[in-house]
A and B are shown apart, each in its own frame.
Chain A
């Protein structure tokens, strides 16, 4: 098994007719993901290399059975596109778009909760279940199928760790990029829950960074609800307070949201935290061998 995306994923890409959307949507299809539709208002009836385009996500659901929506829409229109997806009848919405105003995401977040739709992102690289399906921009070549579930706020850093795990001879059940924005649809806890229930995941690697308290909350949750071993990495020990480090959510406010506080919170609950991506992958590989 794996989580969120797999052989049963039927993907509709909002923004498939755009440059980024078509590049990545078709890459996902080439990987083996069942790409069933593109969605662009006003372009219904066209196709992108054989994939039909609809005006609305709801049509992609009713016409070709889409169950997963990927949002590749420019930031200022993206919140509306996510809300459209939430209302369309899909089970999962994966929002790649970076730069969505955070207060727009507040209402979107609650709407998804209310409707029971799983929202991943925004500002995330998507979800990859190696050998099964890839929805998003994660370069699949660095990840082999295996027993490690990865959940991360960062894209490139995850590729780095995934590649080191591959070189160590292991692989992943799924890789979930939850996104680097202050408000994301799914937090560490939501994904940890899924990995706990996934029989193919034996160990979890969690990659956090400065800002907010999602890692601290995850530490509490790991202690109370997760039986599988968790290895963590936190980026941003050298980040100065008050400065946004690339991701909209990566900012230390006053004295809260520091990397040290997150590391301390995780270690206090018995979670090992790697000093570097390399050490993190090495710890994970070593722990896996001793399971």
Chain B
């Protein structure tokens, strides 16, 4: 689960890392009121879960009330696309914060290194720009060091920030920030914490001017405050899926997909794309896949207006295909799909499942024996590529 910039900064503040003070606003009026209270100049920053906001026009400095109104009006409601094509993300909130007098811009992060199975601290004197580009062009400018699981103290942190070539008079404070970032990782179950830029102000104070924080969704049971943030999902289909306890990711195609198991579901999206189609979603029905789960899944898939055909790809292991077939029959009695449904059932009790479906003789239901045939069929029925 990713946090918005201001939520990350609140987490930083909780752990004693200096951040600019500010307010979150969802309307132009609220943003102007916040700006006036904070004073000018101030920054008006789009709150979306993606980098590259500045380039996209999502961060502006207001020198006076007229500019605050103009910028807030322009930023609220805009759609921001990420540097790797993520999104678009609609801006529903802005964060208004006091302008900072920047003397130096650095980069600091603590991430989970999956390969090495350790936390990794990274620091660079080249902050304020795309760190992947810095790492590619000037790898020596990014100091990377694993955090000793038995402890990470100011001495260890100081050697990292010193090696990164940060200003001599900021080393102690920057080291302290790095120690606290590692503390945020461990105590808040964050798997990624990035501060870009970490600035030194004209008054030589070290301040986190931005935040990017990812919290481990599996650890939310021990973080009540963060669990509340996780409950707010913006996409209507994703919200509906969450309420129904389904693992769903919205994509932008027209072929609705349900499969059992995360790997098989990803594979199903891939074969649909190979057949020339565009998947509308990822939906893992999970192990159980009883009638109720199927009704829920179909409701979520169908609520996406783009969807014009649906593919069920089930390989029954513990899940029994006869149960799935009964679920499909029950679901078709409860919801009017109004679009073709292609079903591929294989694995445990598949013959019984296929017989149940054949006997039910449901309108607009198409059976295919293999995953590849099912993918081709659903793409054809959906009307080709979206």
Binding site for B on A (CB under 8 A): 75-76, 99-104, 106-107, 109-110, 137-139, 141-142, 152-160, 163, 180, 182-183, 207, 209-214, 217, 233, 235-250, 253-255, 259, 275-278
Contact of B279 among A157, A182, A207, A238 (CB under 8 A): A238
Which stretch in B82-90, B161-169, B301-309 binds the other chain?
Answer: B82-90
How distant is the Cα of A259 from the Cα of B271 in the complex, in angstroms?
14
**Interchain CB contact under 8 A, A157 and B84:** no
Binding site secondary structure of chain A: loop
**Interchain CB contact under 8 A, A217 and B262:** no
**Interchain CB contact under 8 A, A158 and B219:** no
User: In B327-369, which residues have CB < 8 Å from any A CB?
Assistant: 346-348
Q: How many of B's residues come within 8 Å of A, CB to CB?
A: 57
Binding site secondary structure of chain B: mixed
Judge whether B159 is part of the interface by a CB distance below 8 angstroms.
no
**Interchain CB contact under 8 A, A75 and B262:** no
Contact of B282 among A241, A246, A253 (CB under 8 A): A246
How distant is the Cα of A202 from the Cα of B283 in the complex, in angstroms?
36
Q: List 11 A-B contacts (CB under 8 A).
A: A101-B222, A106-B117, A109-B117, A154-B262, A155-B263, A159-B347, A160-B264, A217-B115, A237-B273, A238-B279, A245-B262
Instruction: For B210, list chain A residues within 8 Å (CB).
Output: none
Judge whether B315 is part of the interface by a CB distance below 8 angstroms.
yes
Contact of A156 among B263, B269, B372 (CB under 8 A): B263
**Interchain CB contact under 8 A, B218 and A246:** no
Instruction: For B272, list chain A residues within 8 Å (CB).
Output: 238
**Interchain CB contact under 8 A, B266 and A160:** no
How distant is the Cα of A249 from the Cα of B370 in the complex, in angstroms?
28
**Interchain CB contact under 8 A, A236 and B266:** yes
How distant is the Cα of A71 from the Cα of B15 in the complex, in angstroms?
35
Which stretch in B27-35, B185-193, B197-205, B291-299 binds the other chain?
Answer: B185-193
**Interchain CB contact under 8 A, A247 and B82:** no
How distant is the Cα of A256 from the Cα of B261 in the complex, in angstroms?
23
**Interchain CB contact under 8 A, B266 and A248:** no
**Interchain CB contact under 8 A, A180 and B262:** yes
How distant is the Cα of A122 from the Cα of B298 in the complex, in angstroms?
30
Instruction: For B249, list chain A residues within 8 Å (CB).
Output: 240, 243-245
Among A76, A138, A154, A259, max chain B CB count under 10 A is at A154
Instruction: For B118, list chain A residues within 8 Å (CB).
Output: 106
Task: Sort A-B residue pairs by CB-CB distance and give the 4 closest, nearest first.
Answer: A154-B263, A246-B262, A156-B261, A157-B263
**Interchain CB contact under 8 A, B273 and A246:** no
Instruction: For B251, list chain A residues within 8 Å (CB).
Output: 238, 240
Instruction: For A253, list chain B residues within 8 Å (CB).
Output: 192
**17 additional A-B residue pairs with CB within 8 Å, beyond A100-B218, A139-B317:** A99-B218, A101-B216, A102-B112, A109-B117, A153-B263, A157-B264, A157-B266, A183-B114, A209-B263, A237-B273, A238-B251, A244-B249, A245-B262, A245-B282, A246-B262, A247-B262, A255-B84
The residue on A at minimum CB distance from B114 is A212
**Min CB distance, B255 to chain A, in Å?**
11
**Interchain CB contact under 8 A, A76 and B221:** yes
